[in-house]
Amino acid sequence: MNRKPFRSSPVISESTTQMCKGFDNAFLQAFRNTMKLASSLFPNQWRLLASSPQLYLQSFIFSTASTTKSPTLRQYRNLQTSVSPVVTSSYLPTSYITQKQIETPSSPEKQGPPVQESLGAFQKLPMVMPSIDLYSSALRKSKRVQPTKGIANIAKRERNRGAKQLDAFMKELALPLKGYMESFPRRRLLHPYERSLIELTLGDGKYEEVLGKVDALRKKVLSVGKEHASLCAKALSKREAEDRLSEGVEKLELVFQQEGRAVDDLLSIAKVLRAMPVVDLEMPTLCLVGAPNVGKSSLVRILSTGKPEICNYPFTTRGILMGHVILNYQRFQVTDTPGLLRRCDEDRNNLEKLTLAVLTHLPTAVLYVHDLTGECGTSPSDQFRIYKEIKERFKDYQWIDVVSKCDLLGGGSPVMYAKEDRSNDEEEIIKYRVTGPDEAFHVSVKTEQGLSELKSKVKEVLSIEMEKIKSRVGVDPSVASS
């Protein structure tokens, strides 16, 4: 091939001329024209290119590589160029990039510990589709997938369609399952109160077990889908490709029939957890505590917007119920809890443990309800012992004592519905059986006796709780830690 010497132009430096010797005329002419155009349109950028022409020549060679043949590329193989990463859509040498502009992913060792969720994680749970709806939706979408255009051979087109449909079917099943796994929070990252709710409401280990089954289903769907999509892509005829497609769909259907129950279990868990009352840690809370059926729910209806079920049998309240009360334009929370029986913590049922979880993990004031009539089914002496235990355990809380159903007490003489042995009664229990704790409010929801005084006391206690919360929020964490 005849090569003419490369002659410099007014806008091309001598170094550029020396560097470009040895290239064919067509390439040199194109390069020369481009350099002239660049010098006229971009004078400022041209100064950089004129001082270091290798930068521009490198980009020019790669931009024209797709339109040239391989022999031309072999001619430039020995050209020495500099490596320049792309920064904000421009080619710049590495020396021009500061250390802050080069972002490197941090290693897992340098990453901080996982951040604990605040309250309200249950309300962020995703909507879970029933397994049958998830399967039907994925199958319907996969059938819309068409083979790649331009395939003339019938067998190739059919196996392409089958492989693409199986791949789409697999992804439509697996991606929602992956989304569930990522959206449902890990229990260890939840607030201690919500961790207790999961354990006591669903059972110990049930939450992790269901999530594990969903993840196992996702992995099996991916494995089966990839296997049958590969087999379909290797089919030798149209009939074989159709059979492979049918086998793959049937196998995925079988997998969902056998293990899709985990998705339905996850749906049930999401419904239960989303129904849990939301507790605001920055809002004062009044928690009603006492033995079963002493009248806590009736007082919640009187004091707040909560509407709990009221029946004359133990453990009417089967969960944590939340109401709100507005006093002087301020909003407060009122919580109704399941009743407590006289027994050790190891023997308590999950409903009783829910009550203890609220008192343990939430900043709250306590309104303890006593029923001296014995109508609730728990004798006054047993109520006294439960009361002393709970008050000793949570002695730092703001405390209000209320004796309910005082309209049934008559002239101070209790009506005994529950039998008890009084032979070994202490003086404190004898006094408690008649008047209840010291400074207790005697109220009756039926006659409205003492309710106005109780509401005033509740307002006073919740105002104190509000001041405590404001003082905690106002303290600088760095100052508090020092």
Q: How far is CA 102 from CA 85, 99, 350, in A?
A: 10, 5, 54
**Closest among 179, 245, 256 to 221, alpha carbons compared:** 256
For residues 135 and 260, the answer to whether their CB atoms sit within 8 Å is yes
User: Is 302:482 a contact under the CB 8 Å cutoff?
Assistant: no
pLDDT tens-place string over residues 118-171: 677 888 899 999 999 999 999 999 999 999 998 889 999 999 999 999 999 999
Q: Are 453 and 413 in contact (CB under 8 A)?
A: no
Query: How does pLDDT run across 298-320, given as a tens digit for each residue?
Result: 888 888 765 555 444 344 455 67
pLDDT at 454 over 60: yes
220-244 pLDDT, tens digit each: 999 999 999 999 999 999 999 999 9
Please state, in angstroms and rounded to a whole number, the distance separating the CA atoms of residues 359 and 350.
Answer: 14
Q: Is residue 216 over pLDDT 90?
A: yes
From CA 29, how far away is CA 27, in angstroms rounded?
A: 5
Q: How many CB atoms lie within 10 A of CB 366?
A: 21
Residues 6+ apart with CB under 8 A from 194: 117, 119, 121, 122, 276
Q: Tell me, rounded to whole angstroms, the distance of Cα 434 from its chain centroid.
A: 51
Of 139, 126, 106, residue with least CA distance to 271: 126
Which of 366-380, 398-412, 424-438 is predicted most confidently?
366-380
* Number of other CB atoms surrounding residue 221 within 10 Å: 25
Dihedral, 305, 308, 314, 315 alpha carbons, nearest 10 = -100
Domains observed in the chain: 121-275 (1.20.120.1190), 285-412+428-473 (3.40.50.300)
Question: Of 312, 292, 310, which is closest to residue 301 (Cα–Cα)?
Answer: 310
State the average pLDDT over residues 317-334.
Answer: 76
> What value does the mean pLDDT of the chain take?
76
Residue 329 scores a pLDDT above 70: yes
Q: In terms of C-beta density within 10 A (0-12 exposed, 13-18 middle, 19 or more buried), how is residue 344 classed?
A: exposed
